[in-house]
């Protein structure tokens, strides 16, 4: 439960009762614990003890809230970004440019120019044409881009198909058997300085064996590249370590076990290792706080209708993801219910036939493990405002992204000239 503690039957975020936040900010609202984020960074770092000078680049996509990024910046982390927007957010939060790596298959020339001007630490290139584009952009700016190729090791990560990234049919990385040729190409392109190899096979990984297999391929490639005269100084092992969502399932590998595997596979590589953890840092540092609107009897199990919906937390409807849902103040015996949101799609279902705490209209419920890929995937479907976010630190708490009033969403739409007059 980390720092969302149950005390006297009440769920607290650090030392702030969630009921206070719900009253003042309204629901649904994401709540993050600073202490839990700090602890997770500490645990991840400890797990890498013995790895010389690890470069920990937080995967910004997992939680790009500026307060979260600023917390990580204060702890000395870098960032893995996948868009110009993420890069700007990371910089605005105070993350050092030289600790930023830039991943993604579709970087545009504008995004490359932005990253070059900022002076980021590494571009993880995902194709030969991307190398050619970066070479042209860097040359036009008169700078040199530090690059690695992300290779596709053709390894099945054993995770949900939509978040698996290391199989040959996935769009990511350069096919392993094309890698040597890609490095030859890059060596001869002006404006590029080849420095590393990168890999990332997927997210919510619950078995270390596929990662080990992928890393072993990276090790072989580094040896071949060096034999061909390339100077390889970094190896980016990506992110992906899973977190516990469903308490009835076996625990995913611990950061310590992951660290041990990494040390074992990379012994003798003589490179600076880069890590891109996202979920493992923030997943269990956040909850989505919601209120029960009503309980409706179905022909079988009751429907608990809450004020959070698939637009606030997309994971259950997109990946059939499981989030533990608990009453903030338990009322005693559990019952079996379907937990749903108000959106007009049957996919707006958080849990089916779920044994859960007894709840009544007005009660607060917490969706646990919602700190990663929660608020960042929220949207305004059904013209619902974007979910606000709150950060707690000991006895302090603050809104770190406000709920946008629906008036703002309406005002954001411009009318074309031929409708403008009519509306006015
Ligand atoms: C390139 C890259 N790095 C890092 C991550 C972070 O993954 P996770 O949040 O599972 O650690 C992802 C997402 O899967 C990614 O695509
Ligand atoms: N959005 C996914 C993770 C995607 C990882 C991105 N590479 C999830 O919620 O599980």
* Percent of the chain scoring above 90 in pLDDT: 87
Query: Which ligand 2 atom is the nearest neighbour of the CA of 239?
Result: 7
Report pLDDT digits (tens) over 75-118. Answer: 999 999 999 999 999 999 999 999 999 999 999 999 999 999 99
Q: Does the pLDDT of residue 243 top 70, yes or no?
A: yes
**Does 61 sit in the ligand 2 pocket, CB within 6 Å?**
yes
Average pLDDT over residues 164-184: 94
Q: Is 315 in the pocket of ligand 2 (CB under 6 A)?
A: yes
Known binding residue 319? Answer is yes
Q: For residues 56 and 255, is the Cβ–Cβ distance under 8 A?
A: no
Rounded-to-integer distance, Cα 353 and Cα 324, Å: 13
Sheet holding 16-17, edge to edge: 4-7, 10-13, 16-17
- Whether the Cβ atoms of residue 253 and residue 215 lie closer than 8 Å to each other: no
Task: Quote ipTM for the complex.
Answer: 0.99
Taking the centre of ligand 1 as the mean of its atom positions, its distance from the CA of residue 135, in whole angstroms, is 26
**Which stretch of DSSP H or E encloses residue 19?**
helix 18-25
Report how far residue 400's alpha carbon sits from residue 355's, in angstroms, rounded to the nearest whole number. Answer: 33
- Average pLDDT (135-146) is 98
Ligand 2 pocket, mutate which of 30, 150, 163, 173 (most atoms under 8 A from CB):
163
Where residue 406 falls among pLDDT bands split at 50, 70, 90? confident
Ligand nearest to the CA of 40: 1
Rounded to the nearest integer, the mean pLDDT of the chain is 95
The answer, yes or no, to whether residue 1 has pLDDT greater than 70, is: no
Q: What is the mean pLDDT of residues 242-271?
A: 96
Whether 163 is in the pocket of ligand 2, judged by its Cβ within 6 Å, is yes
Residue 341 in marked binding region: no
**Rounded to an integer, what distance in angstroms lies between the CA atom of residue 409 and that of residue 192?**
43
Q: What is the pLDDT of residue 123?
A: 98
Mean pLDDT of 143-162: 93
Pick the closest to residue 200 from 166, 174, 228, 251 (CA basis). Answer: 166
Among residues of the chain, what percentage have pLDDT more than 70?
A: 99
Which token pair is 363? 């009660």
Question: ∠153-58-5 over CA atoms, to 5°?
Answer: 120
Q: Is 345 annotated as a binding residue?
A: yes
Nearest CA to ligand 2 atom 1: 373
Token reading at 116: 């070059």
Q: Which of 314, 228, 309, 241 is nearest to 278 (CA)?
A: 241
Q: CATH classification of 34-282, choosing from 3.40.50.300, 3.20.20.10, 3.40.50.12280, 3.30.450.20?
A: 3.20.20.10
Give residue-wise pLDDT tens across range 343-393: 999 999 999 999 999 999 999 999 999 999 999 999 999 999 999 999 999
Q: Residues 193-238: pLDDT tens digits?
A: 999 999 999 999 999 999 999 999 999 999 999 999 999 999 999 9
For residue 21, is pLDDT > 90? yes
pLDDT at residue number 290:
98
Split at pLDDT 50, 70, 90, the class of 132 is very high
Local confidence band at 2 (pLDDT 50, 70, 90 cut-offs): low
User: Using a 6 Å cutoff on CB, does residue 203 contact ligand 2?
Assistant: yes
Any ligand 1 atom below 6 A from CB of 59: yes
Q: Which atom of ligand 1 is nearest to the CA of 124?
A: 1
Q: Can you tell me which atom of ligand 1 is nearest the CA of 278?
A: 9
pLDDT at 196 (0 to 100): 98
- Distance from residue 184's CA to the centre of ligand 1 (Å): 27
Q: So which residues are the catalytic ones?
A: 344
Of 35-39, 148-152, 248-252, least confident by mean pLDDT is 248-252
Domain map of the chain by residue range?
Answer: 4-31+284-411, 34-282
Residue 404: band (very low, low, confident or very high) from pLDDT cuts 50, 70, 90: confident
4-31+284-411 carries CATH number 3.90.45.10: no
Report, in this order, helix, strand and coil percent for the chain, each rounded to 5.
35, 25, 40
Please, which residues bridge with residue 393 across strands?
A: 396
Nearest atom (ligand 2) to Cα of 61? 6
């Amino acid at each position: 439960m980390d720092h969302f503690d149950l005390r006297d039957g009440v769920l607290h975020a650090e030392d702030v009762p969630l009921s206070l936040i719900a009253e003042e900010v309204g629901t649904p609202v994401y709540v993050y614990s600073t202490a839990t984020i700090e602890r997770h960074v500490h645990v991840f770092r400890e797990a890498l003890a013995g790895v010389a000078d690890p470069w920990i680049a937080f995967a910004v996509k997992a939680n790009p809230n500026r307060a979260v990024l600023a917390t990580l910046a204060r702890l000395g982390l870098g960032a893995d970004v996948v868009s110009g927007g993420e890069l700007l957010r990371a910089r605005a939060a105070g993350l050092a440019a030289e600790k930023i790596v830039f991943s993604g298959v579709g970087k545009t020339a504008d995004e490359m120019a932005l990253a070059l001007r900022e002076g980021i630490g590494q571009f993880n290139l995902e194709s030969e044409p991307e190398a050619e584009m970066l070479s042209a952009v860097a040359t036009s700016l008169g700078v040199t881009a530090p690059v690695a190729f992300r290779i596709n090791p053709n390894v099945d990560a054993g995770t949900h198909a939509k978040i698996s990234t290391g199989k040959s049919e996935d769009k990511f990385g350069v096919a392993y058997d094309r890698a040597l040729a890609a490095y030859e190409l890059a060596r001869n392109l002006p404006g590029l300085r080849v420095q590393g190899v990168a890999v990332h096979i997927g997210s919510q990984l619950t078995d270390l064996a596929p990662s080990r297999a992928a890393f072993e391929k990276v090790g072989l490639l580094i040896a071949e590249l060096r034999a061909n005269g390339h100077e390889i100084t970094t190896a980016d092992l990506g992110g992906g370590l899973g977190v516990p969502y469903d308490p009835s399932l076996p625990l995913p590998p611990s950061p310590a076990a992951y660290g041990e595997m990494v040390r074992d596979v990379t012994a003798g590589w003589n490179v600076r290792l880069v890590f891109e953890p996202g979920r493992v840092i923030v997943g269990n540092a956040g909850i989505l706080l919601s209120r029960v609107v009503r309980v409706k009897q179905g022909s079988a199990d009751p429907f608990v209708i809450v004020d959070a919906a698939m637009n606030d937390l997309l994971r259950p409807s997109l990946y059939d993801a499981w989030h533990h849902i608990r009453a903030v103040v338990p009322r005693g015996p559990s019952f079996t219910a379907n937990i749903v949101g108000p959106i007009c799609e049957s996919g707006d279902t958080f849990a089916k036939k779920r044994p859960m705490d007894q709840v009544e209209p007005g009660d607060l419920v917490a969706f646990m493990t919602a700190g990663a890929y929660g608020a960042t995937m929220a949207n305004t479907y059904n013209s619902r405002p974007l979910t606000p976010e709150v950060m707690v630190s000991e006895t302090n708490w603050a809104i770190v992204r406000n709920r946008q009033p629906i008036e703002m969403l309406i005002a954001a739409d411009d009318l074309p000239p031929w409708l403008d007059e009519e509306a006015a």
